[in-house]
Amino acid sequence: MLHSRPRGWIRGMPRNACWKCPIRDVALCRALPESALAQLSRMTWHRSVRAGCRIFGPGEEPLVVANIVSGVVRLSRSLGDGRTQIVGLQFAPEFIGRPFAESGSILAEAATDVELCCFSKPQFEGLLQSYPGLHELLTQRMIHDLDQAREWMLLLGRKTALERVATLILLCAERLGAQGDSAKSEASEDNLSFQLPLSRTEMAEFLGLTLETVSRMLRKLAEAGVIAIERGRGITIRDGGKLRMMAEMTL
């Protein structure tokens, strides 16, 4: 839970000066003026969460919100009969937490090792009230998230199995590629290599497919020369233009 240190959380690292933060220019904090950085540095701390560990869960009211500095967060929802459904992925430098809201129904877990830059929820809410630019940027992010959710409804409702798998690979390539210092951030560029943040079973759950179908579609993409399947969850894009065409979607 974000309001305590659950199992799997690594001891908090020393506070980094905000002006040295690797996501300073792309995270929500970029809306704050330089004069606010000293105040912000006193409010934040970093946490590292190991892959597979819980960040917050349904029914909890976290007292902390955070920017994702690196890694991928998996969001899922449980049904009454015990089944679960992955409903989203969040990448750096996205924001997690529910300012001005009570507990939700989503379980957030680290899909990969994750580093978070954390804020006290009441202090962050104070920043939102003090700096309209920060509030505006958070609202824009929320609208973007809503748009993405609608796009995902289209994917699940209308896209073929091959299009779904291609879209997920393209999404991960663009977002994970942008996190690396030397990686290419455009999936249209060839030879971009990365590790998928989901297992094939999780991909099937996320995409509304069977495990066998996901494996078959990955082989089909590899046989077409679009991707190369590497060890573990590794993927290398061989033909980014063809991958985008197969996904039939601009993310």
pTM for the model: 0.85
Q: What is the pLDDT of residues 143-193, one digit of tens each?
A: 999 998 888 888 888 899 999 999 999 999 988 875 554 334 444 457 899
Nearest to 54 by CA among 105, 90, 8: 8
Strand order of the β-sheet with 234-237 is: 192-195, 234-237, 227-229
pLDDT higher than 80, residue 228: yes
The identity of residue 224, as a single letter, is A
Q: Which domains does the chain have, with CATH numbers?
A: 9-134 (2.60.120.10), 159-247 (1.10.10.10)
Q: What sign does the CA torsion over 99, 103, 104, 107 have?
A: positive
Query: What angle, rounded to 10 degrees, do the helices at 121-130 and 132-158 form?
Result: 110
DSSP 16: P
Q: Percent of the chain beyond pLDDT 70?
A: 87
